[in-house]
Each structure stands twice: as C-alpha cells, then as structure tokens.
Structure 1
Amino acid sequence: MEPIIPRPPQPPQKIPVPKPLGEAHLVPKVAPSSTLLRIRTMKSDSAIAINQQNESLVSIALAAEKQKAAREQAKAQEMLAEKKAGTQTAHPTHKRGRIFIVLGVVIILGVLGGGGVLLWPKISTLTFSFPNFGKPTDQKETPLPSDIPTKPAQPLAPSLAPAQSEKRLALDINNLQGIFSTIATERIAGLTEKEIRNIYFVGTGSSSEGSEAPAPISARQLFSTLGISIPNILSRSLETSFMTGLVGESGNTATPFVILKVSSRDSAFAGMLEWESGLPNFFNTFFGTTIPHISTGKSAVGKFRDTVVWKHDTRIFENGGGTIVYAFADAKTIIITSSKNALETLLPLFHKNTDGNLH
C-alpha cells in the first residue's frame, strides 16, 4: 500500500461580483437589417410570391379564383346533399298526395259520366240555335232531312180478320188471268206460321199499289167480275163486306181463305149447302189450288160431311188431293178455307171480348 500523504490547505478563492446593468443592457440593440415577425396580409403574400416563386399577379389571381370556385362547388354539393335528404324524407307524403288526387279525379269523372247517362235522353231532345250576325242573304237554306215532308205510310186496309200484311189488286175484268196469277204467286211464296195477309181488291179506277183513296168493292161485285157462279139464295144474303187472303201454316206454307158477311144465317147456310159442289172449282180458279172436283153421284166418297172444329159445327170435304172446310164463326160470318188448321187459327179471332180475351 502506498502511504497516505496529507495535502496542504488551499487558500479561499474570490467569487466575482457581477457589474450593475445599465439601460443599454436592458433592450438589446437590433440592427436595422434584422428580420422581425410581421402580420401577413394579401399584399405581403403577393410580394413574397412574386419575389420568391417568380409568380405574376395574373397567376395569383387565377389561383384565388380557383380556390373560390372550389369553395363554392363544395358548398353547392353540401346544399344538394341536404336537398336530396329532404326529398327522400318527404317522398312518401308526395306519393300519398298524388294517390288522393288520382282518386278524386276518378270519382269526379264517374259522377259526370253517370249524370251524362241519366241526362242524355233529355239533352238529346234539346235544340240549340245561334244568332246570325252576318249580313242577310237571299240564298235559301238547305232543309234538314227531318224538315222534308215525307209521304206517310199508307195504313193497312180495313179487314174482317186482323192482318199483318196485305196485297192490293185492281179488279179489272180485262186482266183476270193476271189477277189469278198474282194471287197464286202470293200463295206459293208462303207465309210464316199464323201470319195473315189480306188480298184487298179495289175498283178499276184506283191504283193497285199505293192508292191514296182506294174504292173497295162488294162481295157480289167480286163474284160477278170473276165470273164465279154462286146460288141465288146465298147471293141475296151477302153483305158488302168480305175478305180474301192467306194464312201461314207450319213449313212456311200459305193456305187461302174467304170470309163472307151475311144478313141471315139460315139463308146463308142453305146457300152454302147448295154451293158445296162448286167450292173446289172456286178455290182452284181464284187461288190456283188443285183440289179435286166433288162427285155428284150417290156415293158418299168425295162429299162434304159434318165435323167439329174449335167447338163449331163444321162442314168438311177431304180427299187425297185437297180439303175444303167451312163454318159459321158467328151468326153473320162464314169462314171458308182449305185446311182444318187454318180454320182453327181464324175462328178464335171472331170470339174476343173487348178486353181481348176469348169467350
């Protein structure tokens, strides 16, 4: 070990005392060229940019405009987003409102349409006229179709049985074959079932079609002009009124008939019994039928017999070639026809009360 050698004591050191500071030492002196912190302004920024970045005033203005446009675009986008959010929020309300509007329009149209349907019959009958403010003219107005007088349709001639149609013929002694041919053509053409057609004769001075004042003829005049012979007892009992015509049966066939008015049932019945043998010839000549002649011998074949049709005593002639049947519809009306079915159709027409019911 090394021996510890004591060091001699050191004399105390003097601590330097700072000198007092004057005013020159309180505020440091700044050279005029030293740089201080200044407040930034647009003018100072522009000057710095011009000095340091070699930018011009034009480029600086363009940059400012771009920044301004960017800010406006961002603001517009924000407003658009807010508007869309508001529209999406209000969309259900607008949709509900449109539904109510559509329903209201439909209801109004329905009410107007219904009212139009109810009021149209009355509105269609109204006529409207507008005043004419123009100068008067001498031209004649063209009449409307409804203003043109038309010839009224000629009603059916009076007939003993209600007819649905008629055929008018002029009774001309010089045209007997033409008359018979026309009647035969009408019969062959046929009619619908139960339809009645009146074959109506007028005098030679009247037109056969469309005569305004037809001159009817009597039953005696008809038989005399046609050259048909009838018993005197029947001729004396004939009244003026008579009817010749056709009645429709099944199969669109037409059956001829004659209705005579008489003054006495007894005299008329006696005359009919006497005329029975001549009835087929009368029908064949007048209507163009082909009914066989009745035998005049003692044999009962081909002669009339008694029967009942629609609760009426009836005389009937039946042969394989045709039929003649007649009956008194009432005390002063004789119906002669060539079919039992036709007689059944005609008899009830003379047995109606005033209310139209049969008795």
Structure 2
Amino acid sequence: MMSGLGRFAADLPAVSRYVTLGEGGTPLLALDRLAARFGLAGLSAKVESANPTGSYKDRVAAMSLSLALDRGNPGWIATSSGNAGLAFAAYGVRAGLPGFLCVVAGAPPGKLIPLVPYGIGLAAVTDVGDGGSGRSGAGLMELVRDAARRHELFLGITANRYNPDGMRGIETIGYELAEQLPDTTQVYVPTGGGGLLASLARGLAHRGVPAAVVACQPAGCAPIVRFLDGELARPVIERCDTRVSALQLPEPPDGDLAVAAVIGSGGWGTSVSDEETLAAQRLLAATEGLFVEPASATGLAAVIRDVAAGRLGGTDHPVLVLTGAGWKDLDRFAAAAERIPEVGLGGVAERVDRWAGEVRS
C-alpha cells in the first residue's frame, strides 16, 4: 500500500509528485488503563509524534513542499514555535528547496537545536510566544507573507489563512481516523492557531465521521474556548500567559474556522491550567508509555476535566490527537535527571535490591 500523503491523492490538491519522508499512517493506540481509570467506554490516541520529524506538521510540510515544486517556487519561508520549522526544514531539503524560518525566540531548545543541521536561514524573533501580544504575532505573519511575495517563495505558515492548500495535508488525519475508529465519539485537539482543528474536522466531515471535535487550550491562552463559552465577542485576546509551547497564539489566525468546526460538529471547548497539562504529560508517559510534548498533553488534561464535569461518561470513546514528541521539550526534566543517583559497580546490586523491594511493597 502506498505510504505518505499520496495514498489520499484523490482528496488532496493535485501535484505531479509528492515530497515524502514516510509521513502519515500513524498508529491509533488504545489507552485501556486510562479508559478504565476515568470510567470511559474507551480512550484512544492518534500518535502523530510517530511522524518522521516528530509531529503532525510533517503532513503540512509534505503537502506544502509538493505544491512548491509544482508551482516553481525557488524556496519557502515560514514561522514556527518549533514543530513546523523542523518539518519544513526536513521536507525542504528533501525537495531540494532552500528555506527561511522565523522561530519564536523563547521556544524550547529541543525544538531549536535540531534545526541547525539542515542549513536553512534562521531568525529567532522576540516579542512573540509566552507574554507576546496578539498584534505582534499577527504582525510577524504579515511580515513573512510580504517577504514571500517579494521573493516568490512558498508561504509555509501553518494556517489556513495563509497556506490553505498546504494545510489540506492535515485532513489526512481525519481520513485515517475514519478507517481506524469510525465510531469515535469525540476527538480532542490541542488548539493554538486553530488550523489543526479546522483542517482535521474537514477530514472527518469529508469521510462522514460524526464525532464531536473538542478544542483544548491552556487557560492562559484560550481565546477560542472563551469565545465558545460566551466570554468574548471574538476569539481573540490581548496577550497570552502560558508555558505550553505551540499553543501561545492570542490572536489565532484560524480562530473563526476552528469555532465554526467545533460548533458544526456538536463539540465544545475545554481549557486547562499549565499544571494540569504537565501532570497529564507525566500520567500519559507513566501509565501508557507515551511521552509527548506538553501541547499534546492538553488533550488528556481536557478529558480528565470533562470527566469530572460530567461532559464525558461510560458510553464515550474519545480520541486524543498527540501532536508532538516529548523529546522536543526536555528542559523541565533536566533537574530530575541531575538527581539520578550515581553508584560504583559495588553499589549496583544493593541499588537494584532496594528498588525491587519498593516495587513489591
């Protein structure tokens, strides 16, 4: 069977060939322990961290660079807090096209360091990300769009507002879910700019999957959730206050699309604290063996909150979209790693015996 986005060519923008690193076809894993713990009929995870560069953004990059080649663009330009940048860097090299990336200066080092080997143009931009205003984030995107026009570059911003054809690659998550679990009741989607949610919802709808789509946002940057809850006149806030990288968009470029997708699916929005998100990240790793970045864990944190609020119950089988890999954001675990006890050869047996006793007790 054909791998990559090409398997769904009939439902995607036409290109002469696909630039691929083997993206897509990610597993859907049953999270039986967590389902039992929270009294759900089932709980599953769409493991997008299994994509070649560790996130769902590979689907966007694959579609975008395929389009760039087809359209004769001499290169590409994009913005990123980490995941999109790595995806475009890798797929740009695969396509043989140079690229320039504006990254969030405060992004985790684990998202910035891997960009270096690809040899792309880079600028770390301040005034965006945690503490940044909506105006500064939107202003950066407009500057990048202007640069794309000046130099005839493919505009790789991962938002439907700026790159609608490239974002079609995300629809393939919905196509795959339709094959893997067509009777899922809800799909929990970490939501920053709104593009992932809106595009995934299109894919589900195109395949006739009636699942409710749930927008999951950090409480410190939840314009879409707050709009859905009737708190805001528009899904826009002045600035964000969250440590959860990738979800720090106070003025989401696809906010209106995301709102329409949630409402159209019969879904809702749930916001969670950073502390709930980090606890969910640890719980997912320690209970089911899945280590994801904090943004991915907002989905599980939202499920936990919705179970407690009575929104989910024993007949529900939600799916978590695990957007990115945990190795991209390791700084918060550095202090714990430094506390790993050092022992000489003579102390190994005693250390193991002590651990075994603790496990049995």
Q: Which has the larger radius of gyration?
A: 1
Q: Greater helix share, 1 or 2?
A: 2
Greater relative contact order (Cα < 8 A, sep 6+) = 2
| Fold agreement, TM-score > 0.5 | no
TM-score in terms of structure 1 length: 0.23
Q: Greater strand share, 1 or 2?
A: 1
